[in-house]
């Protein structure tokens, strides 16, 4: 794991510098316009004063750069793609917070909670546009055909991401969602952007199409495994390690993979989930017991294991350079065996 820490220490400053370049104010805009975006990124307070806070994992840009290194041994060509992918991720978070009415993110009030929903939507829209511009602003474009392809992949991914978000919101109003439908949803909402990060990184390093496609599938299966593990931890993880109260999503009646499995196998579960409002401790606890009895945890953990194995299979098929292969393997191990 020390090798992984060294990699983070080496690449995170590069990622952060490129993100700041991509979000550099131009043409004297109203100060608050950029403050909202910089605040969300964890750089400033609501007044626009420097106040570094939790910036998130930066997983997607890191893995984008590592995939480029896996192909050519150098990450430089993938820097614009890495910044673009992270800005797409963050624009979606700003909008998600509005849609979910989430009051906090990363331990601070959300953008909409500080400036209002209308301004937050506008800030998210701006960040979406700046993600496109990052392909051109982070460093000079040497290959316009590659830049055009990166933009195509980025926008195609946004369609998948927003389709997944559409399904997620749609599922909230449905009494019954099948596991298959749920997996299709997270393939768009969670896995698509990780897949794009890996694909764009490999293409930037001039990978052959078959190799780049293996990186793409590596990212997709990693994203699927990551989300399914997250679903398991939300219900059965330790609150001390996850930072959330036990069965947080069940209290909110959210439909994770173990829950949709339970809904398809238990009338009692469907009746409990049909209640209005947040579920109390006793009801949430009873639902967890029902899920245990139904084998929902075993089902989800087996699904996570299957996706994890496919992740490693596709990583092997990339034939990444040995040093980077080891780092990517360690990163997969860190993400998929986590308890947080």
CA distances from 294 to 41, 230, 245, 284, 307 (A): 41, 19, 23, 15, 22
What is residue 300's predicted lDDT score, i.e. its pLDDT?
98
Write out the CATH class of domain 2-336. Answer: mainly alpha
Look at residue 53 in the predicted model and tell me its pLDDT: 86
CA torsion, points 63, 65, 71, 76, in degrees to nearest 10?
A: 180
- Residue 1 has a pLDDT of 63
Question: pLDDT tens across 287-306, in order?
Answer: 999 999 999 999 999 999 99
**What are the residue boundaries of the structural domains of the chain, listed by start?**
2-336
Q: How far is CA 252 from the centre of its chain?
A: 21
CB atoms closer than 10 angstroms to residue 334: 11
> Where do we find the tokens 């820490």?
5
Q: For the whole model, what pTM was predicted?
A: 0.94
List, for the chain, all residue ranges whose pLDDT scores fall below the cut of 70. Answer: 1-2, 241-243, 339-340
Closest CA to 37 of 107, 100, 95: 95
Distance from C-alpha of 243 to C-alpha of 237, rounded to nearest angstrom: 10
Q: What is the pLDDT of residues 258-295, one digit of tens each?
A: 999 999 999 999 999 988 888 999 999 999 999 999 99
Determine whether 340 is exposed, middle or buried from the number of CB atoms within 10 Å of its CB (0-12, 13-18, 19+): exposed
What's the pLDDT score for residue 337? Answer: 86
């Amino acid at each position: 794991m020390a090798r992984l820490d060294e990699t983070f220490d080496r690449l995170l400053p590069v990622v952060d510098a490129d993100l700041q370049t991509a979000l550099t104010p131009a043409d004297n805009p109203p100060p608050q316009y950029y403050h909202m975006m910089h605040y969300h990124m964890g750089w400033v307070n609501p007044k626009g004063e420097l106040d570094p806070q939790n910036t998130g994992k930066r997983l997607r840009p890191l893995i984008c750069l590592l995939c480029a290194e896996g192909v050519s041994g150098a990450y430089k060509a993938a820097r614009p793609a890495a910044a673009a992918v992270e800005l797409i991720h963050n624009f979606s978070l700003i909008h998600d917070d509005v849609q979910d009415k989430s009051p906090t993110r990363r331990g601070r009030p959300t953008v909409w909670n500080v400036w209002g929903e209308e301004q937050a939507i506008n800030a998210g829209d701006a960040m979406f546009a700046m993600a496109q511009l990052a392909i051109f602003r982070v460093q000079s474009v040497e290959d316009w055909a590659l830049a055009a392809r990166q933009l195509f992949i980025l926008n195609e991914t946004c369609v998948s991401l927003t389709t997944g978000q559409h399904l997620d919101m749609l599922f909230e109003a449905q009494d019954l969602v099948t596991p298959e439908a749920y997996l299709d949803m997270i393939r768009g909402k969670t896995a698509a952007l990780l897949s794009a990060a890996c694909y764009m990184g490999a293409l930037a390093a001039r990978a052959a199409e078959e190799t780049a496609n293996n990186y793409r599938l590596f990212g997709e299966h990693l994203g699927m495994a990551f989300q399914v593990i997250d679903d398991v931890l939300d219900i059965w993880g330790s609150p001390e390690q996850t930072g959330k109260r036990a069965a947080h999503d069940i209290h909110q009646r959210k439909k994770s993979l173990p829950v949709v499995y339970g809904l398809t196998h238990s009338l009692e579960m469907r009746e409990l989930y049909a209640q209005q409002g947040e579920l109390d401790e006793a009801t949430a606890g009873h639902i967890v017991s029902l899920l245990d009895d139904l084998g929902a945890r075993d089902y989800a953990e087996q699904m996570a294991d299957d996706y994890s194995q496919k992740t490693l299979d596709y990583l092997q098929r990339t034939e990444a350079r040995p040093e980077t292969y080891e780092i990517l393997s360690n990163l997969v191990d860190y993400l998929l065996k986590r308890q947080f």
